[in-house]
Structure 1
């Protein structure tokens, strides 16, 4: 199928009553989940469980290979493939799910764990038992050739990989950012949208308006839509009530402005303390609670400080 959405509509339903059934009587999707869990457990036992450590340790000279594989392969891929792409697609597919037991596999978005185990056998002296290697190779093939897929008795519904994925650098890996269009697009046109890593409905990217923003109940979606059209443009058109202004003690020469927003919240308009790449200082808005009455207290609240404490800052970034 051309997209996960098209594939999901073709997935047959099945009763999911597994509690008292032997494994061989489970539906194929559940048996596959058990097999995958067993594979990962056996591979982990072969590798051992690396202890938690700060990511920067992998940059040290003579760092253990376990640090390098975890911090260069597993963590960035998990942040990008699972936390970013996979979760965004799952959110977009939610309205199409006709039943709660649509057990799906994620194809290329399983790369974060598939690549982790593959890196060990490629880069180290670790050798898996032949049966484990054969089972892992099957998952490697799936990750390289398909998007989401649904196994059922006698049939397997697969979707093609997307034709376009738009991302930007993030602290770990990359995050979805579509700008003025889809962040993920499939061949049949079905798409998912994201703004700097936050899942958003299509209108945020394609047709943001003040009326839509003010009617949006989700604060994060509203924030993304305002950023999409620009805080200055939004404030000019929305005609918000200005509650107060004051000089920003943490950013000399800049001003803090507190506005009342529809929907029981307020926004503090501030100026970035650091220069952008083009040499300008970006204006941005920060959502603050509705009981914050002055801009200094609002600025302090964003740092977990009181207004008096914030006023003592010498410089913020």
Structure 2
């Protein structure tokens, strides 16, 4: 079913104001240093396991990504997952992480298919064939009639990704070595979740019964990094301190790591 825009007569600029408020909410979630809600996190992960026909795992909580590493032996890497989408697939059943990744991809695709662009309040921009949409400051994008979905992609998902991925979890992964097994990032997965939350709360997509999406939003609101194994799941408590400052010249409130001191301190003292 195609979603119907809740405020089809609203100005796109008004919708964008609401989008920025939701973006800030999810930026705050991505940067939270509150301890994880362990009960809510475990229930959300268990529901994802059940969706992929796995029983409830044993949960192993640790205080930092570095403390997780000794518990990750045998879990699949990104190279392992790529082998399951190659022409010559390995024998046997795909690892749980592969099933989760495929299920998440399907979920995001299904939600995207329900999108309904709000009625334009000015002449829509035409994209040149074979070229991407231009990246513009918000006022110019609105004046030029950039599609609202593209504005949300640039100004919510990509902006939060530049803060949470480029400035936080990519450097952490790099510090832990090149062959770190596949994981998801809990509250730091806020970029793609915020993108869909903006569209959902503005009435521009339909999430159906919402149970699959709710599991991921609950994880983001309650927990930190997690590595799913067939029998056990390693989960990291959230950091004790995150130090960020405004990124000069940023159009969408992006932040960067402070210099001269660790960007992230975990509760066991490990930092980057």
Query: Does TM, normalized by the shorter one, top 0.5?
Result: yes
The Cα of 1:63 is off from its aligned counterpart by 7.1
Map of 1:120 onto structure 2: 199
Q: What residue is the counterpart of 1:77 in the other structure? A: 160
Structure 2 residues without counterparts, runs of 5 or longer: 1-61, 118-126
Aligned residue among 153, 170, 188 for 1:87 = 170
User: What's the TM-score, normalizing by structure 1?
Assistant: 0.52
Regions of 4+ moved over 6 Å: 48-51
C-alpha distance 14-182 of structure 1, shift in aligned 2 (>3 A): closer
Superposed CA RMSD: 2.8
Unaligned regions of 5+ residues in structure 1, if any? 193-317
Structure number with larger C-alpha Rg:
1
**Cα deviations across residues 226-261 of structure 1 (Å, max 9, x unaligned)?**
xxxxxxxxxxxxxxxxxxxxxxxxxxxxxxxxxxxx
Match of 2:224 among 143, 147, 165: 147
Q: 1:47 aligns with which of 99, 107, 115?
A: 115
Partner of 1:20: 89
TM-score by length of 2: 0.59
**Matches for 1:193-212 after TM superposition, within 5 Å:** none
Q: How many residues align?
A: 184
Alpha carbons of 1:40 and 1:125: their partners in 2 closer, same or farther (altered >3 Å)? closer
Deviations 1:139-173 (CA, angstroms, capped at 9, x unpaired) = 11111222221000111000011111111111251
Q: Distance in 2 between matches of 1:44 and 1:124?
A: 13
1:69-124 deviation per Cα after TM superposition (whole angstroms, max 9, x unaligned):
23432222011011211111111111xx7xx3611112222110011011100123
Equivalent of 1:138, from 196, 200, 215?
Answer: 215
Partner of 2:270: 190
Q: Distance in 2 between matches of 1:9 and 1:145?
A: 24
CA distance in 2, matches of 1:20, 1:54: 39
Q: Could you report, residue by residue, the CA deviation over 1:257-282 in whole angstroms, capped at 9, with x for unpaired residues? A: xxxxxxxxxxxxxxxxxxxxxxxxxx
Task: Go from structure 1 to structure 2 and tell me whether the alpha carbon gap of 1:35 and 1:58 turns closer, same or farther (over 3 Å shift).
Answer: farther
Query: Secondary structure of the residue that 1:8 maps to in structure 2?
Result: helix
Distance 1:101 1:119 in 2: 32
Instruction: Quote how far apart the aligned CAs of 1:48 are.
Output: 7.5
CA contact (8 A) 1:12 1:152 kept: no
- Provide the secondary structure at the position in 1 that maps to 2:198: helix
